[in-house]
Each structure stands twice: as structure tokens, then as C-alpha cells.
Amino acid sequence: MKKYFTTPIYYVNDIPHIGHAYCTLATDTLVRYWRKKVGKENVFFLTGTDENSQKTVDAAKLAQKPIDQYLNEMAKNWRTTWEQIGIEFDDFVRTTEKRHVKKVQEIFQKIYKKGDIYKGKYTGLYCTGCETFLKESDLDLNGHCPQHKKPPQKIEEENYFFRLSHYGDRLLEIYEKNRGFLQPESRRNEIVSFIKSGLEDISISRETSEFGITLPIDGKHKVYVWFDALINYLSGLPQGEKNEFWDHSCHIIGKDITRFHCVIWPAMLLSAEISPVTEVFAHGFFTIDGQKMSKSLGNVVSPLTLSEKYGNDALRIGLLSSFEFGNDGDFSAANFDNFYRSRLAGGVGNLFNRVIVLVNKFLEGKKPKKLSIENDELRNFEQLFEEKKIKSAIDYFFSVVDSANELLNKEEPWKLAKVDIEAAKNVFAILLQKLEFLTQMAEILLPETYPEMRIMLGDEECTGEAHILFQKTDE
Ligand code: MSP
């Protein structure tokens, strides 16, 4: 079985914040689940950067840097941030790379030959924040883009258009045949009714762009950033659609970009006669203390700040456990800190330390007879991962931590060992079995703590040395 996972490619006009990290960590966690299940070589994980947009040009100007230098520095920043927080991608694609430019031109030619691209005049309202044209009806009462709170630019220019309007029925057929094409269900319903309301052709080139991929049929035009960006999913996969991974693709995206991924992208693929993507999962957004995260509010949180203070595993599991994957939710520094203290340091860390210290003390580290892990327990966890219910899988992990801590407090094996060593051994056997189960789940949920848990659990015969898994942080 093969699995191909992707994240959106991120705009390089800014540095990564925890919203971006949330998406990338969720994908990395799903990837770790599948790597463990079907083998590392059967999973391909792609991420990267989206560089050919007007906002990048504007950002480079603001930074007073030549565009190439700016792009190289920013792409490196994204890549190393992901590496620092423990993301294990198989490839990182940049839309300024040759392999990408070549693929965009190839797909453009295919769609052009099909007769799905034509030249026309366009008058419209362009928002550089969204990198898309907006309709009058999309604007707020002030005539501003509701998301970016800025007036869009009025643009009149010659553009090339893609005949999206021809693909409504065939898109609906995809939704009909493949129930899981877009998840969660609520997003699917939204997009299906959007398609049913009638699709318009879209502009896919810009005459005025200072930067980007030149149209192979007209040197004056640059490919529109979204038409270009979506193709990363093919250019970043060796041999693109010919790679067997392609037929097992899953795009993880934020809910803000579903129309691009679930209407335009599959229509582009249909036109280029490439089989459509298998699955798209659109997750929700989180606010910070109830407010939208934004530079102007000064509440942008860097994933690196959290990982430096609490560690990569805390960042991962803390973000992913805030709300169910697919829903919206909130982040607050106080809740995060509380989660670290009570669930990680006080919960998992304390449990491992206590059990191993006790076994080392009362049984001289010799493991009592091994109890095997119930298949049902693992299956529950796997089932949640297969449904991408990441938060529920984390909750399940902590329910095992809680039940082990309760057992420890109830049975008090340190007292029992003095009066009935056989009874104490039975309690330790159950506790060690729970620790083993938690360690198996931690390989996915707490990948940097996992090797330390293994060391503490020791080998078949004996436990290892006890130590503290989650250090106390400074106030
Ligand atoms: N470049 C495009 C994507 C092209 S994919 C072919 C883009 N980039 S982005 O950097 O603006 O955002 C990428 C993704 O970051 C969003 O889709 C979303 O997944 C994630 N998030 C950005 N802010 C977020 C939150 N506040 N909360 C959760 N996710 C957020 O769009």
C-alpha cells in the first residue's frame, strides 16, 4: 500500500507561525502513523514554498533585497523551521525551481492543446492578500476584502482564461463516485453546492506580474500564482503523475483554500487527462485567545518560541490536542502551559518515572511475566488515525495514562510489595503493559520522547534506568 501526503506550499512573504505549523505537524503526524503501519518506503511526504506571487515581490522590495536573495533566504527559513520542529518530509519543493517551472509549462501546454485555454479581457477586483479576484458581493460594507481588510485593486487587462465552466458535471461525478474525496463532510457539502450553483471560467495569467513563470505561448504573460502553485503536487513528486504514489494522494490543507484544491485543481487535472487526487482534508483555523492571529494585532506566535521552551513533542501534541482535526479552535499560552504541566510532565512523565523507579526498587528491575497488549486497544487507536481524528487519538492516549495512574494510586504496589510480592508483581505487569502500549503510540505522537521511553522500558527481561521525560519549565 502506498500513501502520498502533502501540505499546502507556504507563501514566503512571511515567516512560519503556529497556524502553518499546525497544518505541517498534523500532516507529519499522519505520515508517521502510515510509515509505522505500511513502512517508510511506502509513504511520500511533500511540503514546500510558494514563491511566484506578487506579495513576495512586494515583501522583497520592503526588505530592500534582490528578489533571488530574498527568496533563497525565506525558503531556507521555512525549511529549517520545519526541520527544527521535527518535520520529516521526503522532499521540499520550491516553485522557483527548474523542475517546477518545467512541469507548469508542460501542464499548461496540455490544457491549451485540449482547447481549454483562451484569451480574453478581464476587468476585476484583485486582492493580493488572497492572490485572487474577488466579486463585488465578496466585499465587506467598506468595499474591502473581508479577510485582509484592504480594498482590492481594480484591474483591467488581457488575460488567458481556463474553461472551468466546462467541468461542473465531471467534478460532480468525482464527488459522487468518491465520497471521501473531500473531508470533513461539511466542507464537501459546501463545495458541492458551490459547483452546482454554476462555475465561471477563471483567469490564469497576469500581464502585469513582475515575477513568475512565463506562459509558453505568450512571453508577455505570467502564469497566475494559484494555477502555478497547485502543480507543485506533481512537480515535487519524482515522475509526477507517472509515479505510483500519485494514485494514493492526500492533500492536507486549511479550509481557506478548499475551492482552489477541490474545484480548480481537479478540473485542471481532468483537462490535462491526469487522474484526480484521491483525497483532500481541509482542517480548521485557530484563533489566539479568541482573536484572529494577525501582525497588526501583534499576537502572532512562532512555533520556534514554543518548541524552545517546551520541546518539539509538546508543541506537536499540544497544538494537535487543542481541538479535533477538521474543526476550528482556540490557542492560549495559558492553556498550553497548563497542558504541558498537567498532561505531559505530571501525567505521562510522572507515570513512567514512578513505575520504572518502583520496578527497579522492588523487583530489582526484573520484569514480571509479560502481558501482551490487547489487539482491540491498538485497533481503537488505529481506527481513529485512519479517520484522521488526531485529537481523539491523543485523548485515547491520555485515557490510558490516566487509567495507569489511577491503578498505581489505588493498588499502591510499593506497600503491597512488602506484604505480598506476587500480588505486587501482577500490578507491575499490568502497569508495564500499559507503558508498552503508550510507548507504541508515542512513536507517532511523541516521536522525540519515544526513544527515551524505550530506554526506560529496557529489554525483554529487565527495565532500564528511570529518568524525567518532561522537564519542569521556568515560570
Ligand atoms: N500558498 C498558498 C497555498 C498554495 S497550495 C498549492 C497559501 N499559503 S499560506 O502560507 O497563506 O497558507 C497556507 C496554509 O496555512 C493555510 O491553508 C492553512 O492551512 C494554514 N494556516 C494559516 N493560518 C492558519 C491558522 N490561523 N490556523 C490554522 N491554519 C492556518 O495559502
CA of 257 to the centre of ligand 1 (A): 8
Give the closest residue (by CA) to ligand 1 atom 9.
10
Specify the pLDDT at position 206: 86
Task: List, for residues 285-305, the tens digit of each pLDDT value.
Answer: 989 988 888 777 788 999 999
Catalytic hit among 3, 23, 127, 222? 127
CA of 254 to the centre of ligand 1 (A): 6
Specify the pLDDT at position 475: 58
Q: Is 281 in the pocket of ligand 1 (CB under 6 A)?
A: no
**CA 265 to ligand 1: nearest atom:** 6
Residues of the chain with confidence (pLDDT) below 50: none
pTM of the model: 0.94
Specify the pLDDT at position 378: 87
Specify the pLDDT at position 210: 80
SS (H, E, C) the chain: CCEEEECCCEECCCCCCHHHHHHHHHHHHHHHHHHHHHCHHHEEEEEEEECCCHHHHHHHHHCCCCHHHHHHHHHHHHHHHHHHCCCCCCEEEECCCHHHHHHHHHHHHHHHHCCCEEEEEEEEEEECCCCEEECHHHCCCCCCCCCCCCCCEEEEEEEEEECHHHHHHHHHHHHHHCCCCEECHHHHHHHHHHHHCCCCCEECEECCCCCCCEECCEEEEEECHHHHHHCHHHHCCCCHHHCHHHHHEEEEEEHHHHHHHHHHHHHHHHHCCCCCCCEEEEECCEEECCECCCCCCCCCCCHHHHHHHHCHHHHHHHHHCCCCECECEEECHHHHHHHHHHHHHHHHHHHHHHHHHHHHHHCCCECCCCCCCCHHHHHHHHHHHHCCCHHHHHHHHHHHHHHHHHHHHHHCHHHHHHHCHHHHHHHHHHHHHHHHHHHHHHHHHCCCCHHHHHHHHCCCCECCCCCCCCCCCCC
Q: Is 229 in the pocket of ligand 1 (CB under 6 A)?
A: yes
Specify the pLDDT at position 469: 97
Is 148 annotated as catalytic? yes
**CA 257 to ligand 1: nearest atom:** 17
Q: Is 19 in the pocket of ligand 1 (CB under 6 A)?
A: yes
What domains are defined for the chain? Answer: 3-283 (3.40.50.620), 334-457 (1.10.730.10)
Task: List, for residues 31-43, the tens digit of each pLDDT value.
Answer: 999 999 999 999 9
